[in-house]
Amino acid sequence: GLPMSVTIWEVGPRDGLQNESSIVPVDVKLEFLDRLATAGLGVIEATSFVHPKWVPQLADAEELLARLEPAPGVRYPVLVPNERGLDRALALGSRDIAIFGSATETFAKRNLNRTVDESLTMFEPVVQRARTEGMRVRGYLSMCFGDPWEGEVPIAQVVAVARRLVGLGVDQLSLGDTIGVATPGHVTALIRALTDAGVGPDRLAVHFHDTYGQALANTLAALQSGVTTVDSSAGGLGGCPYAKSATGNLATEDLVWHLHGLGITTGVDLHALVRTSVWMAQQLGRQSPSAVVRALAAE
Ligand code: HMG
Ligand code: MG
């Protein structure tokens, strides 16, 4: 069966903007965050406390969080790779963080400058300290289906790293299809294998990129497997840096259209969200790649 409601974990301000070639001014980011909250999104990943040389698009994280006026009841998680990142997040009063690991060695090296083992060692004190502070901690796992350098990623390998991340004490694990190559049968098989290994769908989220146009089909497969948290990016912001494709994350509008059509509640006002993405596209000087944004904006 399908769930009655789904939690959308909006990643546009973080995953979207980190992959846009232009650097968006902090005032525009703040307006974007406000408009997303007004459109009814309850979890909005705001930015990352990573090395500014690695992700210059998010180098303004301090100013952004210092000036953000949180909307009542809205969560604003931030990405934190290490203790230095956690210190920065704590200094700004963050209550909600995400660490981000990789199922493959190549991506761990390229994204974190660490082996998989070394990255888990790096995360351990982050999760421990965050939990002591009473923070919420999500764990991302990238390259759960395919890796641009290593090809298809074996399910057993994903399960092994997933169990270690969960063992660190994260509340939720988000399964990343970083390059958008997953298909629904693969999604079903991975969630079944994780469930058999003790990581059931109540602790999982899915994070699909739409590079091959499979993100909604994959989402439906995940919902049918019992997952109720889905990541998406308003307007489909953010290309894929590893696939040189215009389409990045699953667009939140495409997701909302799909879910509402199934009678699943999200709390999102689709028209307000489309207006937000049309406005954001103007700021970036390019059209939104979302089919639903294009269709509704043309109405
Ligand atoms: P490193 O170069 O190995 O860092 O990078 P280090 O630990 O050797 O430290 C070197 C210097 O960086 C030191 O400064 C540190 O203080 C500083 P120095 O002493 O030389 O002056 N430093 C920092 N400065 C600010 N903030 C920090 C920080 N950490 C160290 N947090 C590091 C290691 C993890 C920092 C680096 O690789 C990094 O920042 N990586 C982030 C990459 C990233 O943000 N990727 C995108 C997010 S993941 C993603 O998008 C996938 C996802 O969407 C899911 C999916 O789609 O699959 C989540
Ligand atoms: Mg991503």
Q: Tell me the DSSP string of 3-23.
A: -SB-EEEE-IIIIIHHTSSSP
- The interface predicted TM-score of the complex, written ipTM, equals 0.98
The pLDDT of residue 226 is 98
pLDDT band at residue 248 using 50, 70 and 90 as cut-offs: confident
Query: Helix 26-38 to helix 270-284 angle, to the nearest 10 degrees?
Result: 170
**CA distance linking residue 184 with residue 264, whole number of Å:** 20
43-52 average pLDDT score: 98
pLDDT band at residue 243 using 50, 70 and 90 as cut-offs: low
pLDDT band at residue 244 using 50, 70 and 90 as cut-offs: low
CA dihedral 218, 39, 73, 137 (to 10 degrees): 30
Give the Å distance between the CA of 191 and the centre of ligand 1. 29
Mutate to test the pocket of ligand 1, among 10, 17, 45, 51 (most ligand atoms within 8 A of CB): 51
**CA distance linking residue 279 with residue 299, whole number of Å:** 16
Residue 4, CA distances (Å) to 13, 65, 84, 266 in order:
27, 33, 40, 9
For residue 144, indicate whether it is catalytic.
Answer: no
The helix/strand/coil state of 146 is strand
Report percent pLDDT > 90 for the chain: 94
How crowded is residue 102: how many other Cβ atoms within 10 Å of its Cβ?
26
The pLDDT of residue 13 is 98
Query: Helix 215-224 to helix 252-261 angle, to the nearest 10 degrees?
Result: 50
Rg of the chain over Cα atoms, rounded to whole angstroms, equals 18
Which residues, other chains included, contact 183 with Cβ-Cβ below 8 Å and sequence gap of 6+? 214, 217, 218
CB 9 within 8 A of CB 43: yes
**CA distance linking residue 259 with residue 251, whole number of Å:** 12
Of the residues 240, 274, 293, 296, only one is catalytic, namely 240
Task: Give the burial class of 158: count Cβ atoms within 10 A of its Cβ; 0-12 exposed, 13-18 middle, 19 or more buried.
Answer: buried
The pLDDT of residue 247 is 72
CB 29 within 8 A of CB 60: yes
Report percent pLDDT > 70 for the chain: 97
What is the number of the ligand 1 atom nearest to the C-alpha of 111? 42
Question: Comparing C-alpha atoms, which of 172, 179, 160, 156 is closest to residue 107?
Answer: 179
CB 16 within 8 A of CB 234: yes
User: Does residue 240 carry a pLDDT above 70?
Assistant: no
93-97 average pLDDT score: 97
Question: Comparing C-alpha atoms, which of 88, 143, 84, 138 is closest to residue 116?
Answer: 143
Give the Å distance between the CA of 249 and the centre of ligand 2. 6
The pLDDT of residue 21 is 85
13-42 average pLDDT score: 96
What is the number of the ligand 1 atom nearest to the C-alpha of 100? 58
Mutate to test the pocket of ligand 1, among 48, 50, 116 (most ligand atoms within 8 A of CB): 50
Which residues, other chains included, contact 54 with Cβ-Cβ below 8 Å and sequence gap of 6+? none
The pLDDT of residue 242 is 61
For ligand 1, atom 22, which residue shows the shortest CA distance? 51
Q: Which ligand is nearest to the CA of 239?
A: 2
pLDDT band at residue 246 using 50, 70 and 90 as cut-offs: low
Structure tokens at 74: 């809205």
172-198 average pLDDT score: 97
**Eight-state DSSP code of residue 171:** S
Q: Which protein residues are within 6 Å of ligand 1, measured from CB? A: 15, 18, 48-51, 54-55, 79, 81-82, 84-85, 88, 100, 111-113, 140, 142, 176, 178, 207
What is the number of the ligand 1 atom nearest to the C-alpha of 48? 44
Q: What is the value of pTM for the model shown? A: 0.97
The pLDDT of residue 298 is 86
Q: What is the mean pLDDT of the chain?
A: 96
The helix/strand/coil state of 285 is coil
pLDDT band at residue 86 using 50, 70 and 90 as cut-offs: very high
For ligand 1, atom 14, which residue shows the shortest CA distance? 51
What is the number of the ligand 1 atom nearest to the C-alpha of 144? 57
User: Does residue 265 carry a pLDDT above 80?
Assistant: yes
The pLDDT of residue 55 is 94
